[in-house]
Structure 1
Amino acid sequence: MVVIYGINKHLNPIKRELSETIHACMQSVLGMPEDKRAHRIVPLDESDFFYPGGRTEAYTVIEINMMKGRTPETQKALIKALFKTISSTVGISPVDIEITIKEQEKYQWGFRGMTGDEAADLQYKVDV
């Protein structure tokens, strides 16, 4: 699951394109299927979104929640692909993008009535 935060007046106009871009990177780097997109867009009022100095109002936070199994190299490749592709496609400068990958054990994921470690029919690899 991906959660994307930003100031509403900047995030709302680009949210579809940003979601498409993020998913394309996840397909390319992680091998995620086309229909395996779970994105949550959280547009915030300027008064509810504080960000570090040296950033603009385009500052965007991307939290990626995934089951453990991807190597550090794979995770770094995803982060670098996101910086590059979001910058060139959506126009957000890498300085205005913050990406956090949060990993949880497979048994800590619940979907389709089972836990992630019980799912034998995933159409993508977790251990990459």
Structure 2
Amino acid sequence: MAQVKVYGLASVLAPSRAAVSDAVHAALVEGLGIPADKRFHRFFPLAPEDFVHPAGRSERYTIVEVLLFAGRSEQAKKKAYAALYRGFAALGTAAEDLEVVLIETPRVDWAIRGVPGDELALSYAVET
């Protein structure tokens, strides 16, 4: 399970939302083994005054937060990071303009379809 939040300037993020979603999803499928049919993305297009960040970032500066079940290996996470940077580079976003954070929580901290996450039958592996 993974829930994604993408933050960026509205002028850049809004017109590229579908392409960004595709890049993020492809990276999570490749790196973390997320099933291809499991896409949970939320977009936060922000006004410049609502997106304060250090100098040196361009208007393409983007933050991707991924909330997921704990259990992926460091290798799987690094594979996902690399795929995210490749995907965003293909969209014209430089590495300096992308920040990614994976936030892992125990499965018991989730409830999905009326079932605690640690009791949920999954069609994919989390411990990878």
TM-score when normalising by structure 1: 0.94
**1:83 and 2:85 aligned:** yes
Partner of 2:9: 7
Q: CA deviation at 1:111?
A: 0.8
Classify the secondary structure of the residue corresponding to 1:102: strand
Equivalence map 1:32-43=2 (5 Å): 32-43=34-45
SS in 2 for 1:5: strand
Q: Which amino acid aligns with 2:55?
A: G
Q: Quick one: distance in 1 between partners of 2:50 and 2:14?
A: 15
SS of the residue corresponding to residue 2 of structure 1 reads strand
Answering whether residue 117 of structure 2 is matched by residue 124 of structure 1, we say: no
SS in structure 1 at match of 2:15: helix
Q: 1:98 Cα deviation (Å)?
A: 0.5
CA distance in 2, matches of 1:43, 1:119: 33
Which secondary structure does the structure 1 equivalent of 2:37 belong to?
coil
Report deviation, 1:58.
Answer: 0.9
Deviation at 1:30, TM superposition (A): 1.8
Please, which runs of 5 or more residues in structure 2 have no aligned partner?
none
**Equivalence map 1:1-128=2 (5 Å):** 1-88=3-90, 90-120=91-121, 122-128=122-128
Percent same amino acid at aligned positions?
37
Contact 2:30/2:79 (<8 A) preserved? no
Question: What amino acid sits opposite 2:39 in the alignment?
Answer: R
1:27 Cα deviation from its structure 2 partner: 1.1
In structure 1, what residue type is equivalent to 2:127?
D
Question: Helix, strand or coil for the counterpart of 1:80?
Answer: helix
Corresponding residue pairs, total: 126
Contact 2:110 2:117 in 1 (8 A): yes
